[in-house]
Each structure stands twice: as structure tokens, then as C-alpha cells.
């Protein structure tokens, strides 16, 4: 682990081109999600994931509600554009 944020930032920026081609697996609930590193900047690292609707439905129908899929479905289901 890094001793401080400056060392962390420097290494990320020094390896920006190679890191942007990588992905990381993150365990969310009981399911591992793959995120692609899509940006390395001075203030943050941006990660993103494409999650197919079919995969979301399959996970939710399997009653795995604490997964990212379940969280996304609940968020869309409860969304109110007037808020």
C-alpha cells in the first residue's frame, strides 16, 4: 500500500496509458463485477462497467438483491424525474 496520496497519484499518472487498458474485479455482495479503468486524472481514477439488462434480470431473479445488479434495478424502479 502507498504511504500517502501523492505517491499513489504519481504512480497512477506515470502509468496512465497502461492502466487505462486494464480492468479490476470488485466483489459487490456475492457477485464479482468487472470494471474497466477509463480515466486517470490528477484528482481521481474513473472506472466504468457495462451491465446488460438480461444479466440484471437474471441476478435479481436469483434473489441476489445486494448485488450491483439489484441496486441498479431498484434505483431505476424507484426513480422519479420530478425529484
- Write out pLDDT tens, residues 4-51: 999 999 999 999 999 998 999 998 877 788 999 999 999 999 999 998
How many whole angstroms separate alpha carbon 73 and alpha carbon 83?
18
| 3-state SS class at 51 | coil
Give me the pLDDT at residue 65, please. Answer: 65
Q: What pLDDT is attached to residue 61?
A: 87
Q: Is 57 helix (H, G, I), strand (E, B) or coil?
A: helix
Global pTM? 0.74
Compute the distance between CA of residue 70 and CA of residue 60 in angstroms, rounded to an integer.
6
Give the pLDDT confidence of 42-67 residue by residue, as tens digits: 999 999 999 899 988 988 888 776 78
Q: What is the distance between the alpha carbons of residues 81 and 46, in angstroms, rounded to a whole number?
A: 26
DSSP code, position 46: E
Amino acid at each position: 500500500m502507498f504511504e500517502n496520496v501523492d505517491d499513489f497519484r504519481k504512480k497512477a499518472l506515470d502509468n496512465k496509458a497502461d492502466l487505462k487498458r486494464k480492468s479490476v474485479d470488485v466483489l459487490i455482495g456475492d457477485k464479482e463485477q468487472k470494471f474497466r479503468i477509463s480515466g486517470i486524472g490528477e484528482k481521481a481514477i474513473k472506472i466504468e462497467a457495462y451491465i446488460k439488462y438480461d444479466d440484471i434480470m437474471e441476478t435479481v431473479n436469483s434473489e441476489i438483491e445486494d448485488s450491483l445488479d439489484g441496486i441498479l434495478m431498484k434505483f431505476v424502479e424507484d426513480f422519479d424525474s420530478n425529484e
